[in-house]
Amino acid sequence: MMRLPLAPTESREADLTSEGWTKQFSASDPRLSEMVSVFESLGKEVRLETECRDELRGSDCEACLEAHPNGVWAIWTRGPTEDPDSGESEYVRASDSVPTGTRMARGLSVSSVANSKREGSVLVVEIENPPVNIIDSKVISVLIQALDEAEADTSCCAMVISGSGTKGFSAGASIEEHLPDQATGMIGGMTDLLERLGNTPLVTLAAVHGICLGGGAEVALACDFVVTSEDSRIGIPEITVGCYPPFAMLQLPSLVGMRRAKQMILTGTPISGQEAADTGLVSKCVRNEDLMRESMEMLAPILSNPPQVVEMALRNLRSLDTLLHTVGHRRMGERFLTDLILHPDYTEGLTAFLEKRDPEWQSDRSNEEEV
């Protein structure tokens, strides 16, 4: 579960150029390549420059090279939505945006982090948590509320989840809510949401465009069907910030096989929407402009069948997939809280990401007694 880098709270002249380039942050491999892919998936021009971290500066760069043998790079981006005169990057703290009200849509009340509309027997819920649709506690609560109200309406037979804006479905779960003092609530909320998606009588579909990372990918993959657009990038990058993805570890092996699941989880490298379709991770990949139309067309023949029989068939199909069983989600969530959250690399990875610096990992593999 992951989110994009935070913007500087105040602009520095060195972080902006007259040509419109904005400095995002500094990193070294392997985090570098993963974040370059994310920015490129957003349609940004990306420029890399070698640099020497201030705290490592000396009479020469020997100390820097020793601490970061693969080099430290500054990532600069340029795009049409970035204003070099605005004094800040477009990547701001999503948690700083406080909901300001409630929207009503065809009888369904949702908070300001989502929009909702009915199209026949389908409820379409659009996550709207700018700038990159972070999956935080507010979004989780709204999605569960949407399921509650849709399930209570027997004329509603399906639910489509999508992301608002041009950047993508979701950049992942809130890093702040991963910190030890909030992690229990975050894991509990995600467990509840994924269990609900696995047990709802509704047919569920995720319509994915742009970036779909970490917790966002876990929510999408929990749906019965996933349709991606050609510009989408799906990834599980938790390992790059000192975490592992407890729920994706349940989802991926049955979808793409254990070897591919290990590759995606242990490298954290995102794949394109077309590659995701080719490997069976998602249902299909379509042109960007056809995403919602193709998603609704995929549901149409299903919804033309008797609703109660579809519900029974879906319930039995899901029961065959033991990875969607309640025990699995709760067990993986408990392991995350009892094993990973106490590890020093966990706090270091999250803190380094929030502070926009390279993490300093434990350098050696643990011994057998420690494991």
CA distance 176 to 181: 9
- Cβ contacts of 306-311, under 8 Å, gap ≥ 24: 307/121, 307/157, 310/157, 310/203, 311/201
Q: How far is CA 155 from CA 152, 187, 307, in A?
A: 9, 32, 9
Domain locations in the chain as residue ranges: 17-78, 94-328
Alpha helices in 49-179 (DSSP H): 62-67, 137-152
pTM over 0.85: no
pLDDT tens-digit readout, 258-301 = 999 999 999 999 999 999 999 999 999 999 999 999 999 999 99
Confidence of residue 351 (pLDDT cuts 50, 70, 90): confident
Of 8 and 81, the structure prediction assigns the larger pLDDT to: 81
Q: Which residue has the higher pLDDT, 117 or 93?
A: 117
CATH class label, 94-328:
alpha beta
Name the residue with higher pLDDT: 366 or 307.
307
Confidence at residue 194, expressed as pLDDT on a 0 to 100 scale: 93
Q: At residue 39, does pLDDT exceed 80?
A: no
List, in order, residues 6 or more apart from 273 with CB less than 8 Å away: 208, 228, 229, 230, 231, 232, 233, 234, 282, 285
